[in-house]
Structures are given as structure tokens and as C-alpha cells.
Structure 1
Amino acid sequence: MTTHDIPATATASAAAHQPLLHARGIIKRFGKFVALHGVDLQVYPRTVHSVIGPNGAGKTTLFHTLTGTLRASEGSVVFDGRDVTQEADHQRVQHGIARSFQVTSLFMNLSVRENLRLAAQGVHRSGAFDCWHPPSGARAHTDVVDTSMERMGLTRQANLAAGTLSHGQQRRLEVSMALASKPRAVFLDEPTSGMGIDDIDEMKHLIRSLRDDHTVVLIEHNMNIVMDISDTITVMQQGRILVEGKPNDIRNDERVRAAYLGNMITGGRA
């Protein structure tokens, strides 16, 4: 049987069982300090994969190395079959990796629509800072912008300056900006940080819906959210993976309980 004889459904099923992202032996050093000690991670397509752990566990450093904000000292990162270990963050965006940040990063004086247009335009460096031509036609990325706003419930705020939005709306805008690059995988770093109860519940449902079209890698301290929406949870401690599994397995794991309680006693920091 040739590859042409294999049904498309079988091919799609096989692809779903292959990791979209595979990190092997990730080590990150800052001088003599080792923040990550040989981390291995596999993230599968169209799942929500949460990375949790006490403060100082190395979660954000791992995010930085996977998305290209930081270069790994050792190890490899393979995304969609491509080795991106040596590529910078802007290059990884072009291959389908997008992220939000723990601290909201928006153009506060620009409208919601303009923030999203710049995010969509910035995928390709050649046109990212073209200030000589008005954003019309294809450069306006109207379809992408409108779809992103609708998905994150921001259509009514389209022409408002980002700085006038509530904190919850700003967090949704940042996630929407990540989606505007049409990523295959979106990395969300504490997207509910600082939100009120109503905003948190809405964001939880939005994140869960993202896996219909995207792979989601999530750092989140709100354990109720993590347990409700995750397909897989990786627990980190002191720069290493402590345990990985389904939410029920993690909830009942004594090693996880000990890691969190121990950190509370010692007062560890991220």
C-alpha cells in the first residue's frame, strides 16, 4: 500500500497522536544558576496542556525557551516536525507559535482594532513596520481582526483605546492579539491574573473553546481553572518535571500536594 492509498481520516488520526511540540532535555542557565534541569515535554494537537508548580518552579522560563524569548542552553525544541531550537521568537511566530505575557503588553493609545491589526501584520517582518502606506486592503487584515474580536467578545470595543478597557477586557485583547497571528499553538501565561470572578469564568470558557482550532499551552495559578479545562497537566518543581498526567491524577497525587505545601512553608518565589 502506498501513501496515496491511506485514507485521509487515518492520516489525520495518526497526526493527532503525534506531538505538535516536543521539547527534549531543555536546560537553561543564567550564569552559574540553572533554572531548568533537562526538561522533556510533549504537547499534542488541539489540547489544553497546563504547566503548574509553586513559585520558582521554572514555568515562565520554560515558556520563554519554548517560544523563543530565551534561547535554551542545551536541548532541543521541535515544533510541527521542525527544529526551532535556534530560532528567535519572531521566527517561531511565522511557524505557528504565539503567546501572551504575564504582564499585559498592549499599545494603550491605539484602538482595539489597531492593536489586532498590528499583531496580524507583525507575523511577517517585511510589512510589520511599514508606516508609509495606509492600512487598507490586505494590509488591514480585516477578516482576521474581525474574527479575533468576535471570538474574544470585543467587537463592541473595536474603536476604543486599549487603555480605556477594563483589566479583564485588556487580558482578552492580549489573547486575541495572539490569535490574530493565526497560530497552531498559543501559549498563555496566567491569562486570568488580576481578574475579577466574572471575568475569570468568562476567560475560562474562552480558553476551553480555543482547542477547537488551536493547541493551548497554559500557565495558570488558579487550580479550579486548570482542573476544569486541561487535558494534560505538567507539574514542575525546582526546574524539573515532578509529575505529569490527567487532572484527576494530578489532583490526588501526594507529590503535588507536598510540592505546594513545601513551597508555602519555605516562601519560595517565581
Structure 2
Amino acid sequence: MSAEFLLEARQVTKHYGKFVALGGVDLRVRRNTVHSVIGPNGAGKTTLFHMLTGTLGATGGSIAFDGQDVTREPAHVRVRKGMARSFQVTSLFPTLTVRENLRLAAQGVNARRAFNLWRSPQGHWSCAEMVDRVIERLGLRNQERTAAGSLSHGQQRRLEVGMALAAEPKAIFLDEPTSGMGIDDLDDMKTLIADLGRDYTVVLIEHNMGIVMDISHTVTVMQQGRVLVEGTPQSVRDDERVRTAYLGSMITGGRK
């Protein structure tokens, strides 16, 4: 595996009986870039995400992360190796504050921190410095004492990204982070993801073509469980196979 690439999947397959959800996917993700995976519903994007992050096991192929074979490693082991992810459905502790949600995410990476139930989270155990850095990056300083369930939808989605950051990952996998957002929140999320790409490797599933084309370094287009096209946003936008297959005029939503 080249040091240039943090993540490399080779001929990854996923079968459910006779149904082939993924039919041999190759994916190489460069370090400190935003790499977007797009395609219509049923293309296999989320299945691929689940296998890359360990939520699902692969039927065949291999997955390497930071030079190590993680093909058969469970999700919690991959988190400790530097993978973190968000989900399509927001998964927060709604009655806990922004700060408490982030603290729990930071503590959860280390088993000694996560299961130390006999002392309050003081000093080193509170992960205060990490939590403060993430809050600033998310732009949620004014809401740090607010219960997560009282945040706007856009703020909740940003907080979920922050919980992935609190795990101090090498790569962040974001599954449709702008889903359900109003137009006022989209720019904040787009700015946040683009900023993350400078310090982390970001793998993104996203349906908003404007965002994908504006912030991605590489775009992988999937169709029917396989990679159809991969390249720069401009090359994907201009590829006739992509237009003909399923994106049509949607692809023009990105900046020229």
C-alpha cells in the first residue's frame, strides 16, 4: 500500500445470497483530502461505507487502513486505529449537553476512560482540552451547555461530526451529513467539511451535488454495486457516462 493513500479497498464484494450488493469495488483514498462517493439509491454507497468502517463484513476482497489490513477487524477496533464515522440518522444523547456528548465520544476511544464509573470526569479524564478544540471548530461555543435535543437540526448534524472528531481520528467517514438541512445550515456544514479536509482524511457520501463538486478533491461514482467513474469533480461533471447513467442535469449544480 502506498504511503500516499490512507485507505485502500481492493475488489471488495458483498453478497446476500444470490443478490450482489457490491460486485468488486476498488477505492483508494489519499491522505488529507475530501473523497466523495456518490450515486443513486441502491448504488451500494452505504454498503461500502459499512464495510470500510467495520459495521458489515465483506464477502470478498481486502481493506487496508494506514498500512494495516483491517478486512476482518470489527468496528470498535477500527475506531482505535483511527476511523470515525457519522450516520444518516443523527445519533446523539439528546438530554446531555453539547459538551457532555463530546466528552463521552472522546472517552469512548479509550476503554479505561469509557468504563471508569467510580469517579467523576475530572482532570485528564474530562478530555477538556479536546472538547474545547472541537467546540470551537464546530462553532458551537454559545451552545456548549445546551442539551443536544434542543439544538437545531443543522447544529445537531454538526455536533455529530464533532463526536467523530473527538475520537481523534485519522479518517472521518460522513454519511449524508447535510441530510434534512435547511439552506441556512448548508453553508456552515460545507465550510466545516472543507476545513476538515486540511487536517483529516474525509470520506463523504452526499446527495447534494453542489457541495460535492465544490469541496471534493476526488469523486467516486457508483452504479449497481460497482465503480462507474472516478476522478476530479470537473472530470466527473463532464463525463458523459455519468450524465447518461443517472445524474443528468443534477450534476450542473456544482460550481463551474
Number of aligned residues: 249
In structure 2, distance between residues paired with 1:151 and 1:116: 12
In structure 2, distance between residues paired with 1:242 and 1:131: 49
Q: Retained in 2: the 8 A contact 1:185–1:216? A: yes
Q: Shift of residue 137 of structure 1? A: 1.2
Amino acid at match of 1:117: R
In structure 2, distance between residues paired with 1:259 and 1:26: 22
In structure 2, distance between residues paired with 1:68 and 1:154: 30
Does residue 117 of structure 1 match 2:103?
yes
Query: Rg: which structure is higher?
Result: 1
In structure 2, distance between residues paired with 1:96 and 1:115: 19
User: 1:141-156 to 2 correspondence within 5 Å?
Assistant: 141-156=127-142
Does residue 50 of structure 1 match 2:36?
yes
RMSD across aligned C-alpha pairs, in angstroms?
1.6
- Dislocated runs of 4+, deviation >6 Å: none
Amino acid at match of 1:244: E
What runs of 5+ residues in structure 2 fail to find an aligned partner?
Answer: 251-256
In structure 1, distance between residues paired with 2:93 and 2:17: 34
In structure 2, distance between residues paired with 1:170 and 1:16: 36
Match of 2:59 in 1: 73
Does residue 136 of structure 1 match 2:131?
no
TM-score, normalized by length of structure 1?
0.89
In structure 2, distance between residues paired with 1:225 and 1:45: 20
Does residue 184 of structure 1 match 2:184?
no
Q: Which moved more, 1:177-186 or 1:22-31?
A: 22-31
In structure 1, distance between residues paired with 2:106 and 2:113: 10
> 1:113-165: CA deviations, max 9, x gaps?
11001100001233323322111111100011010110011111111110000
For the residue of structure 2 that corresponds to 1:186, the secondary structure is strand
Does residue 223 of structure 1 match 2:215?
no
Q: Retained in 2: the 8 A contact 1:67–1:89? A: yes
TM-score, normalized by length of structure 2?
0.94
Aligned pair partner of 1:174 in 155, 160, 181: 160
Q: Retained in 2: the 8 A contact 1:54–1:259? A: no
Amino acid at match of 1:106: L
> 1:210-268: CA deviations, max 9, x gaps?
01210000000000000000000000000000010000100011111122159x9xxxx
Match of 2:4 in 1: 18
Match of 1:194 in 2: 180
Q: Retained in 2: the 8 A contact 1:16–1:44? A: no
In structure 2, distance between residues paired with 1:115 and 1:49: 27
